[in-house]
Structure formats: C-alpha cells, structure tokens
Chain A
Amino acid sequence: MRHGGSMGRMGSGGKGGNPKEGRYYRSRAPMKTLKRLLKVMHEYRFRILLVVILNITSSLATVGNTYMLRPVINDYILPLVGKQSPDLSSFIGILAVMAGLAILAASCSFAAARIMIYVSSGTMKKIRTDLFSHVQKLPVSYFDSKQHGEIMSHFTNDTDTLRELISNALPNLISSVISITGVIVMMILLSWQLFLLVMVHMTLILFIIRTVGSRSSLFFRKNQGELAALNGYIEEMIEGQKVVKVFSYEEEAKARFDAMTENLYHVASKANLYAIVVMPILGNLSYLHYTLTAVFGAYLTIHGILDIGTIGAFLQYTRTFTQPINQISQQINTILMALAGAERIFDLLDEPIEIDEGKIRLVHAEYDANNQLVETSCDRGFCAWKEVKEGEVQLTKLDGDVRFNNVSFSYVPGQLVLDDISLYARNNQKIAFVGSTGAGKTTIVNLINRFYEITEGEITYDGINIQDIKKGDLRNSISMVLQDTHLFTDTVMENIRYGNLDATDEEVIQAAKLANADSFIRHLPNGYQYMITADGENLSQGQRQLLAIARAAVKNPEVLILDEATSSVDTRTEALIEKGMDQLMDNRTVFVIAHRLSTVRNSDAILVLEHGKIIERGNHEALLEMKGRYYQLYTGIFELS
C-alpha cells in the first residue's frame, strides 16, 4: 500500500511479457533466494538494519498509542465525570505524550521509507548493471539457444517484480509482522478473555486464505495458459498483418480471435473472483469480530471483569490487526512470484561466461634499426602478436594467415556439423564457401573468431593456435559482416563508427564510399547525422547491408569475413560494391559466403561444402572443368536449399 502499487508494470513492453511454458510462477527455494538477495544488498546492510529499527520503533509507537486509550478513558476522563471544575492538566499531559508518540511514529516511518528507496534503487541499479555486464560475457551459444524475448524478460518482467519486492513487498511484510506481534502482545495484556476471540478469528482467516487460495492458484494457472495462447495468437497475427490483408483473411482471424477471447473471459472471471473475494470475506469477518468483542466485552464489564477503557482500546486493536494480516496474505503470493523472478535473474547470473584463457595479445609494432620487430605505443600501421614465454617476449607480425587443420565441430555431441576440415587462407586471398543451408558455411566463420569452440583439430592464425590468443584481440583483428544486419539507435555516422571508435569522420565517410553507401546516405535527411531507429527499420534491407559493410570496412582489419553480406542488394549495386570491395580486400585475407554464385566467381579458391565436408575445391575455372557439384550448381542443375 505504500507507494500505490507497481508502476513499473507499464514500462515498455517488448516481447516476452507473456508467460511461456516452462516459466514458473512461484519460487522453488524462497529462503535460499532471499539469502542471496540479501547478499547482493550487502553494502546496504547498515541502512537496512536502520530501516528495520526505525520500522520497529514506528510500529511500537503506533501500537502503544492505541493502548493509551485505556488510561485516557479509565483514568483521565471517567473519574472526572460530573466533577465541578475538574483538573485537566494531567489529561493534557497524557495527550501530549500521545502526540509525541505519533510524531515519533510518523518521523520514523518517513525516515525508513526514505532510506529504503535509496537502498532499493541502488540495489536495482546494481542488479541491472551486473545482469547486463554478465550477459555481455556469455558465449554466443547461449544467445543461440534462447529467444531474445526470453532474455529480455529478465530485464523487464523479472527486474520489475524484484523492484516491487524490494521497495514494497518486503518492507511491508516486515512492518506487518512487527505490527501484528505488537498488537497481539497488547491485546493479551489488555484482556486474555477477549484474546480468545482473536485466536478463533485468526484460525478462520488462515482457513479461508487456504481454501480460497488453493482454488485461486488453480484458476490462476488456467488463466495464464489461456492468456499465453491468446497473446501468442496476437503476436503472430500482428506480425503477419500484411499477409492477412493480402489474403483478405480478416474475417477468419476475427472469428478465431473472438473464440479465444471468449475462452479467456470465462477463465479470467473465475480466476479473478477467487483472487479478490478474500477481501470482502476477511473485511466482514473483522466486523464480526468487532461485534463479538463489543458484546462479550460489555458482558465482562457488567460482571466487573473489564472496563470501558479496555474495550475501547481492544476494539481499536481488532480493527488494526486485520489490516496487516490481509496485507501479508496478499503479499505472500507477490513475494513468492517476485522471488521466482529473482531466481531467474540469479540463474542468468550463474550462467557460465565465455572462457578466455588466451594470453597472446595484439600490439602495435614497428621494425627497429636491426629490422627486428619491437612493440611500440603508436600506430605505425601494423600490429603483431605478443607472446611472453618464460619471461621472453616474442613478436609475430599480424599477417592474416588462417589455417584449419583437421577441424571437426558439432553443436550437439555426436552430430558433426564440420567433419575433418582442412584449409588455408593467406593474405591477399579470397576464399569462398558454397553449399546448401546447413552445410556448415556459417559455422566455419563462427569458429574463426571463436563464437564457438572447435571439437577437434586446430585453427591457427599466423601460426598461432587461436586458443592461445586473447579473444578480444583475436576478434579485433577480424572484421565480420553478418548474415543478419543489426544497427543501433544512433546516427548513421555513429553506427559506422561502431566498427572503430577512434575513426575520424573522414575515415567513416571513406569507409561508406568503399561500401557504396555514401550516395544513399547523402540522400537521407541530415545525411550522416540521420537517426537510425528500431534496428534500422526505416531503411531497406539492402541499405542496411551497405551500412554493415561500411562498419566492417572502417575497422580496417587483417581478416574480413562476409557472410551473405550482399544477399539483399540488387545485382547492379552489388557489382558496384564489388569494385569498392576489391579495394577493401586488397592486402587482406577474405572469406566469403554467398548464395549467388556470381559473387564468388573471382575468388582464389572456392570450397564446396556438403554435409560438413569439403567435397570440391579450386578456382572457378577449375571447378567448372571438374563438372562436379559446383558445375551443377552453377548451371542450375542442382538446387541450393
């Protein structure tokens, strides 16, 4: 009740909002998770302790204030009844004490809340940052095995519920427990006879929460299932909205949607009923308790066992004590759900990160007077691999010589994707891979920059096993243009500069010219300052690919990998890019994967892959001569799927 509900829920949607199968709603090990959460909050431990103390003080002051009703009525009001010119000074005195307690309670509660938002926002910041930087370190295989909607939901839904937990649910739970304890103690002190009623009441509350709760969670699960199905359908239909139009499928879509919403309606009205019906039941139960306390208390007073002041104070307590109990019963579910969210976050934080045991670094180098390679701090245009062996520094010039020696690889153990591949590529060479989808072309490039680790064999780079090279440096020496182009929300200029943060504007423009992107960029409003939004959806697929090529070009790498980089560019533009590419490829090692054979024709070597094996290799002419698979592909006898 403190902050008016979870506001974060409306934070941007994104996908993954719908509970998918396999996501669990309640925590599996609440205490363990809670402990770990507290560990995360370790730096705030004193503040949290302070918050707890302040909350205890505030609750006790509040509870104590209500107790004051008894002396006020019994000792300061009733004895004075009918007296002429009664002495009110002590009456004023006790009211002043009450005022003092009230101020104490209010200021403690205020201070606790203030400190708590500091703690909770700090914790959330820490968790978000940890999560993000951990995700950056996860291996590519993790991202390939998960939908990004799923990973995204850890950042949106799970952190949201966690925030709710830390800033509302947990503090409320703590102060509710403190208040209840305080109230129960006071009630026992006031009258153990009336407390018997309280015990009956509490048993009833637990019973009701139990019965309704179990039915409620049954319908809740059903509700979530229907909702997930409906949301899935919505997602699909919105995704395929244009296809719906083209096939004038609107009426059919509506009919199916109507049926699904109808189902949801029936389940949802039941599920929600069980969720909220507890409130009027418990609320009225509390009035019943109030009534019985009044009658029973009055009866005891007649018999001289109790007095009016005690009844007054007790009645107030019966009203205050149900509120925190209601709250706890409502919060328990929230807390369990939030802890489940926390568990999912911790699971992600526990995902093993990419291993990087390589020691060999990439450094700038130059030749000294004796024509020996030495490390230098400034950029002389070339780099070298630096290896420290038994204290001795060994430099190898970065050249872009890549070799595969009997490399085998499988994503799933036992299912070889690449089978005993050997190949070599030297500086100034263009190597092309041709083969069907699933033949292993993209896998080869995934291995060169160690997105995946090979299962068997060895890949060397300038004679060094790539396992020994520090991953960041390895990747820095390779530029990739990937099959799917991805851009960031930023200007065109910055998107290209992503390839090399140190590039000047001129270098960026130069790279764009090389990729033949310059002319279309200049036609955009604001040219290079044009803002790209939502992964560049305002650009055509071909334009996006040109930007990706420019981004790779600005990096000025030793090894360049083009994975279907021009698949959406029309042939004329492609021909133009190729001219630029010739310049780009000059003095580099280039790997090309292409569907269109026209783009691989001028390669130094073309490798035809089938079922993970290289079945033919040679240049264009030699392969045609061979009249094998390449010939069939080229003449259209065989289909690439």
Chain B
Amino acid sequence: MTEKRSRFAIINLFKYAGKFKKYSILAPTFAALEVMFDILIPYLMAKIVDVGIANRDLNYMVRTGMLMVGATLISLVLGVYCAKFATISSAGFAMNLRRAVFNRLQRFAFPNIDRYTTASLVTRMTTDVQFIQQMFQMLTRMFVRAPMMMIMAVFMSLTINRELALVFLVAIPVLGSVFYFIISRAHPLFIKMLTKIDFLNRIVQENLIAIRVVKAFVRHEYENEKFEEAVTELRQAQLRAEKLVTINMPVMMIVMNSCIIAILWFGGNKIIVGEMLPGMLISFLTYTQMIMISLMLFSMVFIMFVISQASVHRVEEVLEEEPTFSDEDGDPNLTVKDGSIEFRHVDLSYAADKSNPVLSDINLSITAGEKVAIIGGTGSGKSSLVQMIPRLYEVTAGEVLVGGHNVKDYKFKPLRDAVAMVLQKNLLFSGTIADNLRWGNQEATEEEMIKACKVAQAHDFIMAFPDGYQTMLGQGGTTVSGGQKQRLCIARALMKQPKIIILDDSTSAIDTATEKKFQQAFRENYQGMTIVIIAQRLQSIQDSDKIIILDDGKVVDIGTHDELVERNLIYREVYESQQEGSLL
C-alpha cells in the first residue's frame, strides 16, 4: 500500500474489460477514423475558395462540396458507432469490475473483513466503481481521439504549407508543457483538498450519528466550532488548488491568439508575395482551432487519469487483498463425520507479528453431542475461541480438530455446513422470513423450516404476523424485535442440520423461560448435535456437560456446574451474584 503508484493506475484495470475488450479497441479506432474524415474538411474548403472562387468554377465548387458532405456523413456514422462501442465497453467493463471486486470479497477471510470498515467497502464498490466507469468511457473516446486530431491537423497544415506549420511546432510544446506544469502542480493540491473534504464529512457523520449525545450534553456550540475550523481549512485548500487551474484558460487563449496572429502575419506576407492563397490561410485558422481543442481535451484526459487515481487505488486495494487463508489445501472429499471438537495448544493473535495473543495454549476436548458452555468476562476471548471451530479465524499456533480432522483439511463449505454458528452481531436480510431462514438450507422443506422455528421458539410469533412466514423483513431485519431476531437467527442455523451449533451470546435478548423451552426442545429434536453456548446468564447453562471458564485468553477451569461451584472462586462469585434475587 505504501509503494508509490502510477498516475495512470486506471490502465491496470483495463484487463477487466474481458470479452468487451473488442469494443474498447473498436471505440478508439472508430474515433481515429472519424478524425481522419473531419480533418479533410478545412482542406477541401480551402480548395473551394482558392480554386472555385478564383476560377469562378461553380461545378468544381459543387463537386468539392459533395465530397465534404460525404466526408461529414461518414464521420457522423463513425462517431455514432464510436459512442456506441464506448458505452458498451464501459458498461461491460464496469460489470466485470464489480463482479471481480464482489468475488474477491466473497473470498475474504474474517481477518480481511476486519481490516475494512463496512462504509469504506461500500464506497469502493459503489461510488468508486461508478467513477471509474465514467473515466473509462471518457478514456476510450478521448484518449486516442485527442492526440490523433492534433497529429492529423499538424500533418495537414504541413502538407498545405511547411513553413507556416512551424507556428504549431512552437505553440504545441509551449502549451503542452504549461498544461503539464499546471496539472502536475495542482494534483497534490487537489488530493489535499479531497482529504479535507473527507475530514469534514467525517465530522458531520459522527455528529449525526451521535446527535442525541450532542444534544444531551448541549454541545452544539462546540460542534459548530469544530466544523467551522474544518470548513475554513477546506476553503483554503480549495482556493490553493483552484487558483492554479484558473491559469489554464487564459494561457490557452493567449497561445491560440498568438498562433492566429502569427499565421495572419506570416501567411499574409506569403499571400502578398504570391506563395500562398487566401483559402489556405483560412483553413490554417480552422486547424489552429482543432489543435487547441485537442490539446485541451488531452489535458482533460490527463486530469481524469489523475483524479481517477484515488478511486482506482481504493478498488485495486480490495482486488489485490489476498485472503489471509483459504481452503485450497482442503480435501474436497472430506466431510465432517461427527460433532467432536478438539483444541490442541491453540494460540490466536490478530496482530500480524503474532504479538498480543488473544488466546494462548488452549486445550479442549469436546465429544459429539455434548452441551458445552463458555463463560468469561468482556474481552476474555470467548468469541475468538468459538470462531476458530468453523475456521473463521486461523490459529496462530496449535491445531483445531473437528470430527477428528484438522479444520484445515476440509473445504470451507462442508466444514461450515457442519458447524453452524449464530454470531453475536447477527443480521437478517431484506426479504421474507422464509427467504432468510432458507439461507440455512435452500432445499429445506416447509416441515423442516417449521420444525426449526418451533425448536427456536420462533414459530408462534411468526404465525402471529398476518403474513406468517411470508412476512417481509426490512434491511437488517428491522421489523422484528431484538429477541425475535435472535430466535430467527437460531432457527436459520438449525435449518442447516449441522453437527455442531455455536451460539455466541445469541440468547441475550431472550428471557430465561423461553430460553429454557428452546434448550429443552433442542435436546428432544436434535439429539447428537454438539452445542456450544457463550452466555452471560449461568441459569441457562447449569446443566451443561462442560463449562469452560476463560480469563484473559486462557482456560482457567473446566468442569460441571457442581464441580465449579465447589472449587472455582470466580465462578462461585458470578453464580452467587446472579443467584441472589432469583427464586428458582
């Protein structure tokens, strides 16, 4: 990420044109052809003036005129096709690029996901890709067209009058270098301006999210000051950047007019001594215009290259992000035989240099069909521990075995189909309740779905909705309460018919009575399924076959409830604090 990247980074992405490559080559080719015909027109016009008028030859004028009209019409057709090809290729390119990024995201492992914020990934996939698509379209149309127009115009003027064409050979490098100078100076200033905009947006975003905090603490003055400061900085950055660019237009006007005056002077003198005809002079003036416009277009293309850079880099960063681990070495024929779990000297660290271990030297052995509970304080590593079972995180040292095999020996799909997990921060998606439940198993029958929901204690409230299982959920499952959402998530996981189910603090919003009913129903209906529960309430896990106490990344004790009450001080303390008011 730190290495300096090219200003022309967008070129790296051209490979995503894929089967649309044909069109991305055809578009500039047609643009080049279009320019060839355009360029003939001033030349033919000169002929009309110098031959037609001079000889008073109406016939010649009409014939040449027809040639010009023909050239224009051909050029028109070429131009329309160029536009067509450019749009097809850019839309196709965008499609391929989006798919490439999306596919890459699907390959991300949890540590990869943790590296990006949701908002930043969304921006990359939406705003950035859209921007790159626009740039791509512009580039296919302009990148060849602009220099081609310039070269051809210079070529034509050389044909008409070699000496007079020297004017362009002076003007083009002058204007070109001025443009280059301005743009390359302006670029870092614009980047600075953009970071100021980002900064400003961040302030607004935080303020909006936390508006209740702002109001509760009566901090609007303070927030206004913070904003005022940022907005002033932005204005200064903007002025610095845009000031430089305002030189562009006047410089271009000066150079263009200098060309015209030079052409009139030298050309005029040539006409006076009879070395040139007036029509040629007029065509020269038109070529001047063409050259200037093409230079300006070219400088715009250049600017586009530069400003698309940031977007390109952001997208590339995702495309180049290697999944921290994959299932490449997994045996495709291996399936999970049973729900046994074993941890052997497992360490886990999220840091690249393996420092600050979250878990160290974990040893566990869980037999298939057991009910296991994990308890521990905030930050003791409970979630990290269970997330290694379906290999959502990779061990730093040691090994995790599921069904008697190292999790690394499986492909992801059979492993994760056998190990269902209900995440702490869980999500439902927009669609019907049934759609959401089917995430667990596309082919599940109605009966299987209802069975899972009954066990998860979700069936009754689902049926209480007028549309039952066809009830539409909003994005993020906004139409159901927290407890209902948790039960739907459990049902969704049960539908997979997994060998192991892990509940990561996913019953916190469900009351004890309901939770008890769920556990009872679970025992009756899913015998032999290993269940691993992370919970705060000891009440719901007292009957576990094993209770694991984690503290600061280490297993402090393992035992049954009775054993732990007997011998473990922390456990007893928690138990008693929760016991105090309970009548049960």
Contacts and interface: CB of A to CB of B under 8 A. Distances in A.
A257 B250 CA distance: 48
Nearest to A238: B121
A110 B215 CA distance: 47
A13 B310 CA distance: 12
Contacts of A88: 269
Contacts of B249: 2, 109-110, 113
A489 B379 CA distance: 22
A119 to B, nearest CB: 11
Interface in B56-90: 56, 58, 61-62, 64-65, 68-69, 71-73, 75-76, 78-80, 82-84, 86-88, 90
A541 to B, nearest CB: 8
A583 interface: no
Given A12-B123, A121-B242, A265-B91, A572 B429 contact: no
Contacts of A299: 58, 61
Interface in B383-438: 390, 392, 412-413, 416-417, 420-421, 423, 425-427, 429-430
Nearest to A128: B231
A315 B45 contact: yes
Given A95-B265, A636-B512, A247 B209 contact: no
Given A11-B201, A114-B243, A17 B123 contact: yes
A284 B75 contact: yes
B201 A14 contact: yes
A121 B235 contact: yes
Contacts of A110: 246-247, 249-250
A641 B216 contact: no
A29 interface: no
B246 A114 contact: yes
B282 interface: yes
Contacts, number: 491
Contacts of B526: none
A41 interface: no
B533 to A, nearest CB: 15
Interface stretch (A195-203, A480-488, A507-515): A480-488
Nearest to B220: A136
A268 B215 contact: no
B564 interface: no
Contact of B253 (A109, A281, A638): A109
Interface stretch (B3-11, B92-100, B445-453): B92-100
A271 to B, nearest CB: 8
A526 interface: no
Interface string A103-137: 10111011001100110011011001100110111
Given A246-B416, A489-B202, A276 B86 contact: yes
Contact of B128 (A13, A311, A551, A634): A13
B127 A10 contact: yes
Contacts of A114: 243, 246
A152 B204 contact: yes
A640 to B, nearest CB: 6
A640 B315 CA distance: 45
Interface stretch (B104-112, B337-345, B362-370): B104-112
26 contacts: A4-B245, A4-B303, A11-B194, A12-B201, A86-B272, A129-B224, A129-B231, A143-B212, A238-B125, A246-B423, A248-B417, A254-B106, A257-B99, A264-B91, A269-B90, A273-B83, A291-B68, A295-B64, A315-B45, A476-B218, A486-B206, A537-B117, A543-B379, A572-B377, A639-B483, A641-B481
Q: Please name the 9 residue pairs, one residue from A and one from B, whose CB atoms are nearest each other, closest first.
A: A13-B123, A280-B79, A102-B257, A486-B210, A636-B512, A295-B65, A136-B220, A113-B246, A636-B513
B234 to A, nearest CB: 7
B584 interface: yes
A81 B274 contact: yes
A413 to B, nearest CB: 23
A185 interface: no
A509 to B, nearest CB: 19
A628 interface: no
Contact of B412 (A81, A83, A248, A284): A248
Interface in A1-34: 1-5, 7-15, 17-18
A106 B253 contact: yes
Nearest to B69: A291
A229 B510 CA distance: 34
A637 B513 contact: yes
Contacts of B378: 540, 542-543, 568-570, 573
A272 B238 CA distance: 31
A262 B95 contact: yes
B208 A280 contact: no
B56 A302 contact: yes
State the majority secondary structure of interface residues on B: helix
A640 B511 contact: yes
Interface stretch (A45-53, A391-399, A594-602): A594-602
Contacts of B208: 135, 143, 148, 151-152
Nearest to B413: A248
Interface stretch (A69-77, A329-337, A369-377, A418-426): A69-77
A276 B228 CA distance: 40
A98 interface: yes
Contacts of A135: 207-208
A98 B53 contact: no
B459 interface: no
A74 to B, nearest CB: 10
B110 A77 contact: no
Contacts of A595: 509
A241 B101 CA distance: 13
A237 B98 CA distance: 13
Nearest to A137: B220
Question: How would you classify the secondary structure of chain A's contact residues: helix, strand, loop or mixed?
Answer: helix
Interface string A71-105: 01100111011110010100110010011001101
A312 B35 CA distance: 22
B9 to A, nearest CB: 13
Interface string A143-169: 100001001100110000000000100
Interface string B186-199: 00001001100110
B330 interface: no
B166 interface: no
Given A81-B271, A102-B254, A280-B82, A17 B126 contact: yes
Contact of B429 (A236, A634, A639): A236
A151 B201 CA distance: 12
Interface in B545-584: 570, 573-574, 577-578, 580-584
B199 to A, nearest CB: 9
A273 B41 CA distance: 26
A239 B423 CA distance: 13
B38 A254 contact: no
A351 interface: no
A287 B219 CA distance: 63
A245 B392 contact: yes
Nearest to B247: A110
A287 B235 contact: no
Contacts of A327: none
A15 B204 CA distance: 12
Contacts of A312: 278, 281-282, 285
B484 interface: yes
B76 A280 contact: yes
Contacts of B65: 291-292, 294-295
Given A128-B231, A540-B379, A277 B80 contact: yes
B475 A236 contact: yes
A534 interface: yes
B41 A290 contact: yes
Contacts of B483: 639-641
A572 B279 CA distance: 95
Contacts of B247: 110
A122 B119 contact: no
B300 interface: yes
B119 A13 contact: yes
A298 interface: yes
Given A14-B119, A287-B71, 17 more contacts: A12-B198, A12-B202, A95-B265, A98-B260, A132-B223, A151-B208, A167-B242, A238-B105, A238-B122, A290-B41, A302-B56, A308-B282, A451-B212, A475-B215, A482-B213, A601-B580, A639-B511
